[in-house]
Amino acid sequence: MNAPDIKTPLPGPKARAIIARDAASVSPSYTRGYPLVIARGEGAVVEDVDGNRFIDCAAGIAVVSTGHSHPEVVQAIVDQAHKYLHISGTDFYYELQVMLAEEMGRIAPIDGPARSFFGNSGTEAIEASVKLARHYTGRQYLIAFFGAFHGRTMGSLALTASKVLQRRAFGPLVPGVYHAPYADCYRCPVGLKPDTCGAECLDFIDEQIFGHLVSPDEVAAIVVEPIQGEGGYVVPPNHFLQKLRELATRHGIVLIADEVQSGMGRSGRMFACEHSGIKPDIVAVAKGIASGMPLGVSTARRDVMSWPPGTHASTFGGNPVCCAAAMATIRLLKERLIANAEEVGAHVLDGLRGMTDQHPLIGDVRGRGLMIGVELVRDRETKERATGERDRVVDAMFRRGVLVLGAGKNTVRLSPPLVLSKQQADIVLQVLDAALTEVEARSSS
**Nearest alpha-carbon partner for 180 in 153, 157, 213, 152:** 213
> Could you tell me how many residues of this chain bind ligand PLP (CB under 6 A)?
15
Judged by CB under 6 A, the chain residues 210 through 239 that form the site for ligand PLP are 225, 229-230
**Residue 301: alpha-carbon gap to chain centroid:** 22
> Does 415 contact ligand PLP by CB under 6 A?
no
Residues 262 and 228 sit within 8 Å (Cβ to Cβ): no
CB 62 → ligand PLP: shortest distance, Å? 7
> Does 149 contact ligand PLP by CB under 6 A?
yes
CA angle 291/293/295 to nearest 5° reads 100
> Does 261 contact ligand PLP by CB under 6 A?
yes
Residues forming beta bridges with residue 180, ordered by sequence position: 145
Residues 329 and 288 sit within 8 Å (Cβ to Cβ): yes
H-run or E-run covering 405:
strand 405-407
Considering the complex, state which of residue 90 and residue 166 has its C-beta at the smaller distance from ligand PLP.
Answer: 166
> Does 440 contact ligand PLP by CB under 6 A?
no
Stretch that binds ligand PLP, among 51-59, 257-265, 267-275, 304-312 (CB under 6 A): 257-265
Q: Which residues contact 325 (CB under 8 A, 6 or more apart)?
A: 73, 76, 77, 290, 291, 292, 293, 295
Burial code (b: 16+ CB inside 10 Å, e: under 16) for 197-231 equals: bebbbbbbbeeebbeeebebeebbbbbbbbbbbbb
CB 179 → ligand PLP: shortest distance, Å? 15
> Does 150 contact ligand PLP by CB under 6 A?
yes
Is the link from the previous residue into 172 a cis peptide, with omega within 30 of 0?
yes
Considering the complex, state which of residue 260 and residue 361 has its C-beta at the smaller distance from ligand PLP.
Answer: 260
Considering the complex, state which of residue 287 and residue 359 has its C-beta at the smaller distance from ligand PLP.
Answer: 287
Phi, psi for residue 77 in degrees, rounded to 5: -65, -45
CB 232 → ligand PLP: shortest distance, Å? 12
CB 257 → ligand PLP: shortest distance, Å? 10
Q: Which of 108, 220, 260, 338 binds ligand PLP (CB under 6 A)?
A: 260
Considering the complex, state which of residue 258 and residue 375 has its C-beta at the smaller distance from ligand PLP.
Answer: 258
CB 236 → ligand PLP: shortest distance, Å? 14
> Does 408 contact ligand PLP by CB under 6 A?
no
> Does 263 contact ligand PLP by CB under 6 A?
no
Stretch that binds ligand PLP, among 36-44, 145-153, 199-207, 387-395 (CB under 6 A): 145-153
> Does 123 contact ligand PLP by CB under 6 A?
yes
Amino acid at 17: A
Give me the sign of the Cα torsion angle 354, 359, 364, 366: negative
Considering the complex, state which of residue 43 and residue 229 has its C-beta at the smaller distance from ligand PLP.
Answer: 229
| Secondary structure in 3-state letters for 283-330 | EEECHHHHECECCEEEEEECCCCCCCCCCCCCCCCCCHHHHHHHHHHH
CA–CA separation, 286 and 22 (whole Å) = 27
Binding mask 82-121 for ligand PLP (x = CB under 6 A): ---------------------------------------x
CB 230 → ligand PLP: shortest distance, Å? 5
Judged by CB under 6 A, the chain residues 301 through 340 that form the site for ligand PLP are none
Considering the complex, state which of residue 266 and residue 392 has its C-beta at the smaller distance from ligand PLP.
Answer: 266
Burial code (b: 16+ CB inside 10 Å, e: under 16) for 150-173 equals: bbebebbbbbbbbeeeeeeeeeee
Residues 49 and 8 sit within 8 Å (Cβ to Cβ): no
List residues binding ligand PLP (CB under 6 A): 61, 121-123, 126, 149-151, 225, 229-230, 258, 260-261, 286
